[in-house]
Chain A
Amino acid sequence: MTQATEVLVPGSADEAVKLFGDGNDVTVIGGGTIVVPELANGRRSAGKALLLTRAGLAGVSRNGSRVTIGAATPVQELVGLEAPVGPCAANVADVEVRSQGTVGGNLCAAVDEVPRGDLQSALLAVGATVRSAGAGGIAEQALEDFLPERDGRLILDVSYDEPEAGSFVALERPHAHVYTALGVSAARAGDGTIRVAATGLAAHGVRLPSAEAAADDPGKAGADAVDDVSPTDDALASAWYRSKTLPVLVRRALTELKEQA
């Protein structure tokens, strides 16, 4: 186990932000499900380890239809939420790992040999915003703007307006310990806007604008979605396989959405 130069356990969100600073040489440990084994196996060195266990950053709260999820909320706490967020969360790992792994960790997880970050498709589809700390202070931005620049940021919470309808469809996992090779979320906001997003196709979850543009025709939306992405091979599936199954998943997600009047 590669030990840290310093182990920091903030007792509040403010303290966590202060200790995180600009994130330089800081390893954030939320649930630890991704980072702890990497430390134990010598794949990563810790630098300063910032443990969020007591920082008070966990919890799901509502203000009318606005849902706010603390960054250190275990994924399991999202399972009861409406689609796409609920079913997307239920499709992550197994109950033990979900109960430990956090939403923030899922959003910050790097994609390398496996497509981590399953929750990103659901949160992109519901138009979530992220509040984060780091160099330059606290910022609030759309999730799709946060994801490409998430290095050096400490997520504080994620918020979204409950959608009017939602769906989540994914390639079946052969076992609970396997990451989702390809997952698609779709949601219809109160004003009728439809957003479609997917994980397993890029370095993080992405929206599928061509699918959104054709959302009324799920078949066409599926076919067009392929234009939005350049999938690559990884440990779970080939680029070819993803390009063949993406249209099917998009079609199913949008069909399911349509069926929710």
Chain B
Amino acid sequence: MRAPGGNRFRPVEDEATGSGGGTDGLDQGSREPIATGRLAPGTPSDPVGAADRLRAETSRRIVDALAGAPSPGAVADVYVGWVAARDAATCPARYRGEGEHGWGFPGWSPPLAGGACGRAALAHHIAQADRAGRPPTLPMPLDAIRAWMRALRTRDGAAEGRTPPVERSGVGDWICEVWDAGDSATLAAVAAVAGRWLAGFVRVLGWPLPPRLTLVNAPGPAAVSSLWWRPGKASPVTVACGADARLGRVTGAGGFALVVHRVATGDDGALWDRAAFEAAAGALAIGVVPGSVLLTGGDTGERVTIPVDDDLLALGADRIVAVVAERVVAVERGFDPADATPSGACRHCDHLADCPPGQAWMRVAERWRSGLPVL
């Protein structure tokens, strides 16, 4: 059993364990132009070879982890994204206890769709300008969201030349369903959260967007649709990179950056975990190790560049493999307080009643709120 944190102050909720040194000394809040194409010190000298080795080593470790399952096929459809990596690292016991419902995609909702819709709308805005042969104008967030939604609805009329076609996407299909259902409250909520994402992304990165910036995980010709990797054709594991954009072209020399935009930031220590996960997932998906990960914060306005080196990749690979390992353990042992790791997440944990470490942590944490004693 891990010792309860015993923090007298309530830790950050919804953030991974802090394993790094914060942002001291990093390019924080820089207003300097965003550079691309530079190789930071410590970047693997052979980005393609390093990605190949990462793929081979991660595949081997995943296979080893899956071999621990009680029977072949006992573990199915393991989706390894940042949220799963964070959850498994933060409290393995709680992650295992989530079960199939918690591990799977919960379905689209406005809070969950903000980034996807914001990216899709921005990609649509840029694609429209590209088609017209002119540079894109500064997008008006709400107008851009509405234009994308309208284009989704009229994509069948594209052949008649009425509207530029909008490529299909899972979130786009959901928007169409919501529209067909006449759910104006959900559409308005999507406009609010997606507009917030788009505004923050453009504000922090600047307009015009940096040269050679390509949106990723977005549909359409102005973006890269998705970044994911599977260790083998028959593997149940999918590793998904959650980057929002890429800065620079992907070449064998590496040097490009992955951009991860966070509408609201939390614990600075989690920056390292996030950068590590996205660097490793991106390298696995692209086949070339990125030179750096640029993390932006919509609420702070900061831009933090974290160079990708071997240590960061190793940490990211550990986070990925840990998800698979916990899923294997979960086949026979779901929630178990033996390896519970208390944190602010205990406040919302369904297993708190069965978790002595969590209860002990809460007894301390409940006496403090926001760093102040509670009377």
Task: Answer yes or no: are A and B bound together in one complex.
Answer: no
